[in-house]
Amino acid sequence: MTEEPATLSVPRGRHRGALLGVGIASSAFFLWLVLRDADLGAVWRALRHAEIGLVLAAVVVNQGVYVAQGTRWRAVAGTPVLGVRRFYALVVGGLAVNNVLPLRVGDVLRGRWLALSAGIPTGRAFGSVFRDRVCDVITLVAALVVALPFVGDERWVERIAAGGILLVVAFAFVVVLAVAYVRRRPRSRRERRGTLRRLVRDLVEELASPLGRHRVLLALALSVVAWS
């Protein structure tokens, strides 16, 4: 009776050690990707001549942006089991991956990380990432439209604003399609679906589920705070 816990703890300890090793190796690899083409001498010279007060202020403001984004994503995801600190960590992790890998892989990974952390379907977590990014697009497009009168006759700015508006309309169309699909296809068929089809179904259901006025306003307000 007394030896069984010790026996069980050995594989668990090895598992944690393996995860730690993978984490250290992957961190070293991504650090190499970031620094491989950097002029470290120029970086050191810039740091030597930088005003330490402004640098520290920039660090604080930058972390405040991530806190606002994590708080917004938590409000959008509707997973009270996780605190703001965990969402902050997921946001920073996703941004770190996006900085070194193409195709916004970090957004896909943070959706999966949320699913594992909160114990929710992966499709639902992906849907929350989609909504979170839509908040960014809406905020930036609105800011660009407001700034148009102050940038003169720059045609490229107008084209970007027009493209952003079309993108917001496309997002809205996707949500409308999701709502229509969920209403036509009952959830009772879900048990007979394969893994991929369940993931897509969960994603569509998340996009179709109402957020409520309070959560929408909170998410947009946090977006304004983050981008300001």
Rounded to 5 degrees, what angle do the CA atoms 163, 167, 173 make?
145
pLDDT attached to residue 205: 95
Can you give the length of the chain in residues? 228
Structure tokens belonging to residue 64: 């405040």
Alpha-carbon distance 127 to 32, whole Å? 32
Residue 210 per-residue DSSP state: -
pLDDT attached to residue 14: 77
pLDDT attached to residue 152: 66
pLDDT attached to residue 1: 44
pLDDT attached to residue 4: 42
Tell whether the torsion through CA atoms of 60, 62, 66 and 72 is positive or negative: positive
- The answer to whether residues 31 and 99 touch, using CB atoms and an 8 Å cutoff, is no
The predicted model scores a pTM of 0.81
pLDDT attached to residue 76: 96
Rounded to 5 degrees, what angle do the CA atoms 117, 135, 177 make?
90
- Mean pLDDT in order along the chain per 10 residues (228 residues): 44 74 82 84 88 92 96 95 96 88 90 95 96 95 87 78 93 96 77 81 94 95 94
